[in-house]
Amino acid sequence: MPYLDYAASAPLRAEALAAMLPLLERPAANPSSQHRQGRAARAAVETAREQVAALVGAAPAEVVFTSGGTEADNLAVKGAVLARPPEGRHLVCSAVEHHAVLDAAAWAEAEAGARVDPAPVDRLGRVEPDRLAALLQPGRTALVAVMAANNEVGTGQPVAAVADLAHAAGALLLCDAVQAAGLPGVDMARDGIDLLALASHKLGGPTGVGALVVRAGTTLRPLLHGGGQERGLRSGTLPAAALVGFGAAAEAALADRQTNAAATLTTLRTRLLSGLQTLAPGLQVNGDPGAVVAGRGLEVGGAPAPTAAGLPGLLSVRFPGRRAEDLLLLLDRYGVACSAGSACASGAVTPSHVLVAMGRDPGEARETIRFSLGHGSTQADVDETVAAVGQALGVLAPQGAR
C-alpha cells in the first residue's frame, strides 16, 4: 500500500527503532537522577542532543528538547514576545507559516499586546523580501517568522536574506524547519537563524518529541516552569528513549543528505507528476518545490538573492473540477495514503490559508491534493499511486470547468 504522506508523518526509521529498544526494554530511569541508571539515561540524551545539533549546524548546548514542533514554535513566538517590553512586541510572520506559528502570534496579539503583520508571498508561495522589509520597525520588531520550506506546497524560502533584514532591524529570526531539516537541510550558522523548530517524527523518529534550537545569547521567556530542565527554558522530565530515537533519526537524515537522497526523491516526484499529467492534462502544480536553478533569484534591495531549495519529495497539485475530499476517499479505498494539505488542519472546513495567500480562490484550494515522499519511498509506490489516481478520476465526474 503506497504511503505518500511523509509531510504529515514519516514512518519510523529502522535506525531510530534500534536505538530506542535498549532503553525501552530495561527499567526507565530519569535522566536527572544521580544514580547509575540515571547517568546512563543522561548520557544517551546528550548523545541525541549532539546528533540533532549536527543536523542543523548548531552547538549541542543550543538544542532545547520539546514535545514537538508545535511546542517549539510556541516557545519561540511567545517566549520572544514576553521577553520584550510592551513597546517592543511587534511580529512579522509570513502569510504561509504553519498554524503553530500563526496561532501563537494571534495569542500574542490578543493576550500580550503584540502587533502582528503578515508578510505577503508571491504566486509560488515565496516570501518577497522587499515587501517584508517594509513591515519591519527597527527597535520595535521582536521577531520575524519565515519557515525554511512550506509544508503544503514545498516552496523554499530565502531564509538568509530575511535573516539579514531581521537582524538589521534588531529582531530575531524564527525558522520553522520541521519539514526541511532533513532534505534539503538547514544550517543555523550559515543562514543566520536565531530560533529553529524541529519535530522528530518528520525525520523518521518517534512522535512526541522535537526541539527548539536557540542561538547562544538569545533571550526567551520560558512557558513551562518546574524542575528547570533544558537550561530553564523547558521544564519537564526528558523522555530518554524517544529522544534517543530522535537523535538516531537526525543522524540518518544527515546521512541521506550526504548520499544525495534529494536527487532520488526529485526523480520519483518527477515520475509521479508525469504520470498524473498523463491522466489529467489540466493538472496544475502549486508552489515551487524544485531545487535551485542556476541564474534564478529574488531581487533584494536591487541585488539578486539565491532562491532556497524546496522540498524534493513534495508535490501539491490541483485537479480542476474534482473535490480533494472525494479523491482522498477513493484513494484511501484503493490503498493510497496522501492528504489535502497540512494534517494539522485536517478537520478544518476552511480552505488552505497557504493556497489562498498564493492567490488560489477557495474553490481551487479545495481541489488540491498533497503527495509527499520520503526515505522509504519507491518507484513502485509512485506507479501504484498513479494507477489509483487513474481509477479515482474514472469514477469522479468533473464538477464543472473553472
Q: Which three cell numbers stand for residue 220?
A: 526567551
φ/ψ region of 185 (left if φ > 0, alpha if ψ in -120 to 50, else beta) reads left
Specify which residues 304 forms β-bridges with: 299
- Give the pLDDT confidence of 88-136 residue by residue, as tens digits: 999 999 999 999 999 999 999 999 999 999 999 999 999 999 999 999 9
pLDDT at 344: 55
What total of structural domains would you count in the chain?
2
Place of cell 524534493: 312
In a domain, 7, yes or no: no
Catalytic residue among 93, 175, 338, 344: 344
Q: Are residues 30 and 79 in the same domain?
A: yes
CATH of the domain at 329: 3.90.1150.10
In a domain, 51, yes or no: yes
Q: Indicate if 175 belongs to the active site.
A: no
| Averaged pLDDT of the chain | 92
In a domain, 101, yes or no: yes
CATH of the domain at 67: 3.40.640.10
Burial of 343 (0-12, 13-18, 19+ CB in 10 A): middle
Specify which residues 265 forms β-bridges with: none
Query: DSSP readout, 269-287?
Result: HHHHHHHHHHH-TT-EEES
Q: Are residues 21 and 160 in the same domain?
A: yes
User: How many beta carbons lie within 10 A of that of residue 397, not counting itself?
Assistant: 9
Specify which residues 145 forms β-bridges with: 93, 174
Question: Mean pLDDT, to the nearest integer, of 207-211?
Answer: 98
Q: Are residues 220 and 336 in the same domain?
A: no
Answer whether 94's CB lies under 8 Å from 121's CB: yes
Q: Which parts of 62-143 fold into alpha helices (H)?
A: 69-82, 99-111, 129-133
pLDDT at 308: 64
- Give the pLDDT confidence of 222-266 residue by residue, as tens digits: 999 999 999 999 999 999 999 999 999 999 999 999 898 999 999
pLDDT at 336: 98
Among candidate residues 208, 232, 255, the one where a domain is terminated? 255
In angstroms, the CA 120 to CA 118 distance is 6
pLDDT band at residue 5 under the 50/70/90 scheme: very high
In angstroms, the CA 71 to CA 68 distance is 6
Among candidate residues 255, 275, 296, the one where a domain is terminated? 255
Q: Are residues 222 and 104 in the same domain?
A: yes
Answer whether 324's CB lies under 8 Å from 369's CB: yes
Burial of 351 (0-12, 13-18, 19+ CB in 10 A): buried
The two beta strands, 303-306 and 297-300, are: antiparallel
pLDDT band at residue 400 under the 50/70/90 scheme: low
> Which range marks the domain in which residue 340 is found?
261-395
Give the list of residues 6+ apart from residue 401 with CB closer than 8 angstroms, or none.
320, 321
In a domain, 402, yes or no: no
In a domain, 9, yes or no: no
Q: Are residues 124 and 180 in the same domain?
A: yes
Among candidate residues 207, 239, 255, the one where a domain is terminated? 255
Question: Mean pLDDT, to the nearest integer, of 194-210?
Answer: 98
Q: Are residues 251 and 298 in the same domain?
A: no
In a domain, 371, yes or no: yes
pLDDT of 55 above 90:
yes
In angstroms, the CA 394 to CA 305 distance is 45
Answer whether 175's CB lies under 8 Å from 97's CB: no
Q: Are residues 330 and 247 in the same domain?
A: no
- Give the pLDDT confidence of 365-391 residue by residue, as tens digits: 999 999 999 999 999 999 999 999 999
Q: Are residues 206 and 319 in the same domain?
A: no
pTM as predicted:
0.93
Place of cell 530553564: 232
Q: Are residues 246 and 142 in the same domain?
A: yes
In angstroms, the CA 389 to CA 341 distance is 17
Nearest to 351 by CA among 368, 339, 335: 368
The two beta strands, 210-214 and 303-306, are: unpaired
pLDDT of 349 above 90:
no
Q: Which three cell numbers stand for residue 299?
A: 531581487
C-alpha dist (Å) from residue 92 to 78, 86, 117: 13, 16, 5
